[in-house]
Structure formats: structure tokens, C-alpha cells
Amino acid sequence: MIQSGDAQPQIESSPFYQDGADGTEKTSANVYAANEEVAREEASTAQTSERKPLNFYLAFLAINIVVFIFALDSTGLSVAIPSIAEQLHGTTLQSFWAGIAFLLATVVTQPLYTSLSDIYGRKGLFQVAFFFFAVGSIVFGLAPNMPAIISGRLLQGLGGGGLDVLGEIIVADMTVLKERPTYLGIMAIPTAVGSILGPSLGALLCQYASWRWIGWINLPCLGVAYPLVLFCLKLKRIDSPLIQRTKQLDWVGIALFTSSCTLFVLPLSWAGTLYPWGSWKTLFPFLIGAFGLIVFAWYESKPLMPIIPHRLFYPRTASATLIGTFFHGMILFSLMQYLPFFYQAVKNETLIHSALTLLPTSVASVLAAGSSAALVGPLKGYRWSIWISWLLVTLGTGQLALLSVSSSKAMGFGIPIMWGWGVGALLRVPQLPIQASVANINDTGFVIGLMMFLRLLGGLVGLAISSSVFSNVFEPSISKIIPYLPAELQQLGDANMAIGFIPKLRTLDIPAESLLAIQKTYSEAFRAIFFAMTGACVLGFLSSLGTEELTLDKEERGQQQFDST
């Protein structure tokens, strides 16, 4: 029996306890080990099932506020860029940098926050991210010119990358894998709502208040969340000395990754819009960045504590999930941007009207994001949920090609819903298999950071592909009707001007036949994007077939677990 207190377990008389040199020592050791294992399991179960303190729930609330604000801010500015550029007399180049600065800073910093938080602790770096994001919001709100706008967005991205990834990692630290589906399901709701609400809120603020409120609106939310993080988020400290931890940091890896990733990502963001794909200004940094990332991948086998350890990719389930996450990012970011454009260009809707048309899709995404992870426990597994979600995304993206100039309002409301449900479900469920696949519980933060980085990188690649597909289809199609269009529409001959011209379509005083021809040209270009993203969906589904059904019945806790004492 196992006695209470600190005394070691005692073994009572048992038929398995045999006399003799051969049996006594071996059998008693086995029973002792078994009792010790039972004691550990009982203690762990008690820790998991015990009622969590109020501080836990307040800290979790703060993290949900943070992920909502990040999602809102990352999607809300794009619709306001034309208004900002017009008011502040910004150039095309400045408008481009204002739009891309946030995402670029977020993509580059997320793996760095992940690695540094493993060395210096999550909470301190989370607070640093708060500081950058708040200062960036203030700079943006007060900006007198476009350089200040770009600076504010860059600072927001430096903070937003940490708020996003560390929020996810801290929740993993605070919970055990067995209970994590519930918390991931809850967290999916503010993420989905923020992402969906961002463009509509940005449009409403520009139209009825001021674009500056896109920055100001963050501050009261941060003002609520930060004190909760400061006083309620209690994580266990890392024991090793600070100097020793600093020496272990992968400084060469940080330099290689930051420079190479920046060079790789920048051309993806401007290819086909600011500069052509064939321009040396696109190809040169892209190829140098790609080579640098290959060198970085080779080098990461050398340091004691690498930024992205190779061991994360060894399990089959981890590799399959990371590949699927990349394709999910491609599909999510591309269609979140181009679906509203379709309704505005082809169906002649305003920005707010297009958001209302997509409202059923948005609701479906929120419901799927919130329920899919939470249902993994009752359904006793995640594999079927992932496979069904990928099938829904694939079918839903493919049937978007049915939308056209002549589509009914019912089709406009209903057809994207299947896509919305599938893409929403895949926001959270894949985190479970990849977290279950880690051999060491302290690698959980690394895989979460890597997963979120690949989703954003996939988004940038998807946007670059979609932009290229749009241009390659739109330009030859519009060239057939350009000679018959009025002088003010000749600029549509340049496909790079086509997206920016969409708001003007509603104000054109031209014959209905000419407008219809233009709308059909837009429709063909958007349909090509839908087909391209359907191909990405198929690849994502195929990658998901490599996912294994690993047990989620784990109650290990990492070294920076929640301290309830």
C-alpha cells in the first residue's frame, strides 16, 4: 500500500513477494515501481481535476482579449489604406509598406518570441509584446504622415507577433493536453470573430468616424488585458541563471533566420503588384532569402538550443500537420481577401454590403472554430474531424467557382458557407495532433510557434499566387474589350490597377453592356483564383492522411506551467 505523507511506499505480504535470492529482490522492486507509478498518476490526476483558481480564469480571459485584438488589427487596416493614403497624400510605395509592415514584422518575429521565451520566460516577453503593440497603436493613431503610419504598423507587428504566438503557448503551458481541446475551442471564437469583424469595422470607422480609431480601439482592450496578465498570470520561473541562459541562445540562428526570412518574404508581398515577378527587384532578394533559409535549416543541427530544432519534424504526424497548416494559411488568407473583392466587383456591392453577404459564412466559421476542438474529447479522436474539415474546405472552395455575374442572392449567401465551416474548423483542431506528437513536453511551445509561423508564411505565398493568377487571367481578358471602353477605363489594361479600381465601378456612368463585360472579366479572374486554391486544398487534404491518432490522455506539464500556489 501507498502511505500518505513523504514516507516511501511499503510492500505488504503478497503471493508475488517470494523468498529466495532470485525472486525476492526482483519482484519487490517491480511492485515498488508499480506503486510509485500509481502514486504519480493519482497525484497528476488530482492536479488536473482540482478546481482551478480564479487567477487562472482571469489570465485566460486576458489572453482571449489579446488574440481578439490581434485578429481584429491584422485584418482591419487593408480596407482603410486608400482613405489614409488620400488624406495623408501617400504614394503607391508608401501605401504598399503601410499594408505589409504589420504582417512582415509578425511573420519574422514569431519564431524569435518562441525561442526567446524558452530562455527568458513567457510572461516577461508577453509584456514586451504588449508594450510594442500599445506604442505602435498610439503612433498609428497620432500619425501626421505616411512614414509615421508605416512606423506605427511596424511596431504593432513587432508586438502582435508576440501577443499572438505567446498567447497560444501560454495556454498550452497553463493546461494539460487532456483538457486542452476545450480551451482551444474557446480561444478559437475571439480569433475567428476578430478576423471576420476586422474589415467591416475598418470600413465603418473610415466611413462614419476616422481611420485613426483603428489604432485607438486597441488601447482600452489592452488596458483591460494587461493588468490581468500582470497580476493573474502566474507561471513558474526558469531556475537556471540568466547569464547561462543567454550564452545558450542561438544568436547565429537568430541572425540567419531574421535576415533570410525578411529577404524571402518581402518579394512575395510585392511580386505582381509593386514589381513584376520577372523583375530583378523581385527575383534577387527572393533567391538570396531562399538560399539563406536553406543555410539556416542546415545550421540548426549545430547549436545546443536552436530556434527551430530538427527533432520537431521527425514524427510523421508533426510533419503532416505542419504541411497542412501551410496550405491552410494559403487558402485562408487568399480567400479572406479575394472573396469580398468578388462581391464588390462582380455583384457591385459596397464593402459593408459584401460583409453582410458573407455574414452566414462568418457565423459558420466562428461556430466551427469554437466547436471542432471542443468536440474532439467526446468524439474520442481528432483524425476524422481533420479529414472531414479538409473535405469541406476542398468542396467549398471548388464550388465558389459556381459564383458569377448572374448568380442569385441566395447563391451569394449560401455557397461560401461550406468553405467557411471547413476553414474555421482547421484553425484549432490541428494543434492537438502536433502537440500530442512531441516527445518532450517542453517542445510544445516550439511546435506551436512553428505552426503559427507556417500558417502566416502560407498566407503570404497564397496571396502572391492569387495576385499572379488574377493578373495573368485579367489582363488578356480585359485587353479584348479595352478598345471599346471610355478613356477613364483605359487604366484597367494594367492588371495591377484592377483591384484598386473596384470601388469606382459603382460610380461609373457607362452603358450597362460595358459594365457587364467588365464584371465578367473580373469574374473570370476570381474564378481562376478559386480553382488555384482548390488545388491547394487537395494538397492539404493529402497531407492530412499522414496524421496518426495519438492519445490526448496526457497530463504532463512544462517547466513554465501555471503556478496556482
Mean pLDDT of 111-139: 93
Top mean-pLDDT range of 89-103, 202-216, 349-363, 404-418 = 404-418
According to the model, what pLDDT value does residue 495 have? 75
Backbone angles phi, psi at 275, to 5 degrees: -135, 150
Res. 313: pLDDT tops 50: yes
Domain 321-565 has CATH 1.20.1250.20: yes
CB 192 within 8 A of CB 369: yes
Residue 219 has pLDDT above 90, yes or no: yes
Helix (H, G, I), strand (E, B) or coil at 275: strand
Q: Can you give the pLDDT at residue 2? A: 38
- The residue to which cell 538570396 is assigned: 288
| pLDDT for residue 380 is more than 80 | no
Mean residue pLDDT of the chain comes to: 85
Judged against a pLDDT cut of 50, whether residue 26 lies above it is answered with no
- pLDDT value of residue 247: 80
Q: Which three cell numbers stand for residue 523?
A: 469574374
The answer on pLDDT for 27 being more than 70 is no
Q: What's residue 221's pLDDT?
A: 94
| Helix/strand/coil percentages in the chain, nearest 5 | 75, 0, 20
CA neighbor of 127 nearest in space, from 278, 233, 236? 233
Structure confidence at residue 23 as a pLDDT band (50, 70, 90) = very low
What is residue 141's predicted lDDT score, i.e. its pLDDT?
94
Name the grid cell of 230: 500582470
Q: Please tell me the predicted confidence (pLDDT) of residue 12.
A: 36
Q: What is the pLDDT, as a whole number, of residue 422?
A: 93
Taking CA atoms, 438 is separated from 37, 119, 314, 412, 556, in Å, by 22, 19, 9, 43, 11
Q: How far are the Cα atoms of 40, 334, 336, 342, 491 from residue 95, in angstroms, in the given order?
A: 58, 20, 20, 22, 19
Using CB atoms within 10 Å of the CB of residue 210, give its burial: 0 to 12 exposed, 13 to 18 middle, 19+ buried. Answer: middle
**pLDDT more than 90, % of the chain:** 44
**What does R_g of the chain's alpha carbons equal in angstroms?**
26
455 within 8 A of 329, measured Cβ to Cβ: yes
Nearest-angstrom CA–CA distance, 486 and 239: 72
How far is it, in rounded angstroms, from Cα 31 to Cα 357? 66
Give tens-digit pLDDT for 249-301: 888 999 999 999 989 988 887 877 778 888 898 899 999 999 999 999 999 98
Looking at residues 473-495, what average pLDDT do you find?
82
Per DSSP, the three-state class of 473 is helix
Handedness of CA 424, 425, 426, 431 (dihedral sign): positive
**Is the Cβ–Cβ distance between 169 and 562 less than 8 Å?**
no
Report which DSSP code applies to 303. S
Looking at the chain, the whole-number percentage of residues with pLDDT higher than 70 is: 91
Question: Kindly report the CA angle at 161 between 160 and 164, in degrees rounded to 5?
Answer: 80
Split at pLDDT 50, 70, 90, the class of 20 is: very low
- Whole-number pLDDT of residue 59: 94
Grade residue 480 by pLDDT with cuts at 50, 70 and 90: confident
**Where in the sequence of the chain do the CATH 1.20.1250.20 domains occur?**
53-237, 321-565
Beta bridge partners of 249: 305
CA dist 17 and 332 (Å) reads: 62
Q: What angle do CA 273, 275, 281 make, to 5 degrees?
A: 150
Kindly report which listed range (3-7, 226-230, 448-452, 511-515) carries the lowest average pLDDT score: 3-7
Residues whose CB is less than 8 angstroms from the CB of residue 15 and which lie 6 or more positions away in sequence, other chains included:
none
H-type alpha helices, 175-217: 180-208, 213-216
Neighbours of 346 (CB within 10 A): 26
Query: 53-237: what fold?
Result: Growth Hormone; Chain: A; (1.20.1250)
492, 501 in Cβ contact below 8 A?
yes
Q: What is the pTM of this model?
A: 0.85
**DSSP symbols for 349-404:** --HHHHHHHTHHHHHHHHHHHHHHHHTHHHHT-SHHHHHHHHHHHHHHHHHGGG--
pLDDT band at 8 (very low <50, low <70, confident <90, very high): very low
| Position 320 pLDDT exceeds 50 | yes
Alpha helices, DSSP H only, in 24-145?
24-49, 54-76, 81-88, 92-120, 122-142
**DSSP 3-state assignment of 175?**
coil
Q: Which amino acid is at 393?
A: V
DSSP letter string over 312-364?
A: GG-SHHHHHHHHHHHHHHHHHHHHHHHHHHHHHHHS---HHHHHHHTHHHHHH
| CA-closest candidate to residue 252, choices 216, 314, 295 | 295
In this prediction, residue 50 carries a pLDDT of 64
What's the rounded Cα separation, in Å, for the pair 18 and 84? 84
- Least confident stretch, 51-60, 192-201, 545-554: 192-201
Query: Which residues have CB under 8 Å from 472's CB, separation 6+?
Result: 495, 528
Handedness of CA 115, 71, 68, 375 (dihedral sign): negative
pLDDT value, residue 534: 97
Amino acid identity, position 29: A
